[in-house]
Structure 1
Amino acid sequence: MTDQIEKAHEFGALHIKGEPVIIFNVWDAGTAKAAADVGAKAIATGSYAVATANGFEDGETMPLELVLANVERIVGAVDLPVSLDFEGGYGREQDKLAANITKVIEAGAIGINFEDRIVAGEGIYCVEEQAARIGAIRGAADETSVPLFINARTDIFLSRDTSTHTEEHLKESIERVHAYAEAGATGFFAPALVNPDFIGKLCAESPLPVNILVWPGAPGSKELADLGVARISYGGGSYRTAINAFKDAAKNAVDWKVATP
């Protein structure tokens, strides 16, 4: 537990405004080791990649027991902080969330992504309910003494085309980051936010380190750093890059384009 607590503190310290930690998301122990081998400072799973690699659809269709077993193997494979993409926490009610987060911590994770999208439903939770859900997770985590990094994700931007993002959406995201921070979140994740002005305003007004996803039309890493971003994630992009390379190699092999060693 002491090592896990230290890794949780280490992970939190990596989130520096203007000096973002780079998260090239993994999906199993092998990819975690590969990321560690090339100098990754921390490991984080992506739910899309984990689910797809195991034959499931994204969106909590992969049984929680398998998700936990997978992250436990990842934790055992690398000497780095490991964060789990926990989607919606595999439960709506606060007592269920509390029980589930205890299992996540027992599996060795020191952080989670936790989204406000209603999994298997429509839309996103109202800010009050999602803040209460975050509070339940924070309370249960604190009982374990592990300072869990709760990266609170909002789907305000992901739920609509980037060309339709407005100042009102930005205003709502700022309202949510303040509510989520008060409830116990440690970071704020806004996937599909690509407008540099909006990113800069969010970083300026957020009480939490801001996480931006590598996304078509988004600024590059250097510009994101200059805007005040503290974490840059690749999400499902890392899986798609790997699987496309595998497909290309497999096609060359089955088409007899590569000689057998």
Structure 2
Amino acid sequence: MTIDRVAQARSFQELHKQPPLVLPNAWDPGSARAIEAAGAKAIATTSAGLSWADGVTDGGGLTRAAALAALRRIVSVVAVPVTADIEGGYGGSPAEVGETVAEVLEIGAVGINLEDSSGGALIDPSAQAERIAAARSAADAAGIELCINARIDTYFFGDPADTVKRAALYVDAGADVIFVPGLLDPVAIGALVPQLSRPLNLMIGPGAPTVAELVALGVTRLSIGPAITIGAYGLAAGAAEELLTHGTYTLLETAVAYGKHNNLLR
């Protein structure tokens, strides 16, 4: 399929002005097509899902080459915008982040997540701002209005009070969206939203407030991270255990029909 990526990037940016933008996360072409067929306006990838599908652990196990190869396969089978979880950019320096982003754009994705932690610790915010600026420069050079989703890991590895300071630095460097995984408390969300100059992205899943509740608090963008992938692998493990232990198949009664999914990839 031939897609105008410049126009698609602008369209993806516009989706942030019409909340909620709900992004189910894909990890391979089959999951991406299933998500698109379900009605998603855009698709996000999940680094955890990509890593597990490649047989490695999340959080550093996936190489740049493997991540980009998986992204290429996903982008090739869907018509909706794709935003790529590139973890820390697959390189420590701003130049290396810029190289990764240039390849992401060449593949056809129109958004990225770039996180500000490495090895279980936060990166210096000024250094992260330089990496975001490098991503923006690579996008400008390609003529693509890349949507940079700046992930702030203060709720995982640092002081949540530092979130607003980091967000301001990242916006100045070129971030379009602020992503704060781990934040789900309604009171804290309601307090944070007015302090941000860009849309807020949260990661949701079982136990989180509903999409409607989060939008009412001012959240613009919602992604589900690895939750769908975990569910898929959980079904595989549970169904295999049931088959091997009891010789039955009840867990698979909710699985999609062979023909239905096969036809999505035609």
Same fold (TM over 0.5): yes
Alignment partners' CA distance in 2, 1:218 and 1:76: 32
Gaps of at least 5 residues in structure 1 are: 161-167
CA deviation digits over 1:34-54, x for unaligned, max 9?
001110110111101110121
CA distance in 1: counterparts of 2:93 and 2:51, whole angstroms: 23
SS for the counterpart of 2:108 is coil
Deviates more, 1:7-16 or 1:31-40: 7-16
User: Identity across aligned pairs (percent)?
Assistant: 37
- For residues 122 and 79 of structure 1, what CA distance do their matches in structure 2 show? 35
Partner residue in 2 for 1:75: 75
Q: TM-score, normalised by structure 2?
A: 0.88
Tell me which moved more, 211-220 or 33-42. Answer: 211-220
Give the distance between the partners of 2:192 and 2:128, measured in 1 at CA: 19
> Which of the residues 242, 248, 257 maps onto 1:257?
248
Quote the residue 2:148 is aligned against. 150
| AA in 2 matched with 1:196 | P
TM-score computed with the length of structure 1 as normaliser: 0.89
Show the 5 A alignment for 1:1-261. Answer: 3-16=4-17, 19-118=19-118, 121-159=119-157, 169-170=160-161, 172-215=162-205, 217-254=207-244, 255-258=246-249
Query: 1:197 Cα deviation (Å)?
Result: 1.6
Q: In 2, are the aligned partners of 1:210 and 1:230 still within 8 Å (CA)?
A: yes
Change (3 A) 1:90 1:258: closer
Quote how far apart the aligned CAs of 1:141 are: 1.3
Tell me, yes or no, if the aligned pair for 2:122 and 2:153 is still in contact at 8 Å. Answer: yes
Counterparts of 1:194 and 1:158, CA distance in 2: 12
Matched AA of 1:249: A
SS in 2 for 1:112: strand
Number of aligned residue pairs: give it.
248
| Change beyond 3 A, Cα 1:115–1:244 | same
Q: Residues 189 and 179 of structure 1: is their aligned pair in 2 closer, same or farther, counting only changes over 3 Å?
A: same
RMSD of aligned Cα (Å): 1.8
SS of equivalent to 2:154: coil
Deviations 1:103-143 (A, max 9, x none): 1111111111000002xx35211221111110111111110
SS in structure 2 at match of 1:77: coil
Indicate conservation of the 8 Å contact 1:158/1:193, yes or no: no
- CA offsets, 1:177-203, max 9 Å, x none? 111111001111000012212111221
Distance 1:31 1:215, change over 3 A: closer
1:222 partner amino acid: A
CA 1:6–1:63 in 2, change beyond 3 Å: closer, same or farther? same
Provide runs of 4+ in structure 1 moved above 4 Å. none
Q: Secondary structure at the match of 2:201?
A: strand
Distance 1:100 1:38 in 2: 30
CA distance in 1, matches of 2:3, 2:34: 26
Contact 1:193/1:218 (CA < 8 Å) preserved in 2?
A: no
The alpha carbon displacement at 1:59 in A equals: 1.7
The one-letter amino acid of 1:218's match is: A
Residues 131, 179 of structure 1: 8 Å contact kept: yes
Rounded to whole Å, the distance in 2 between the matches of 1:231 and 1:185 is 14
Q: Where do 5+ consecutive residues of structure 2 fail to align?
A: 251-266
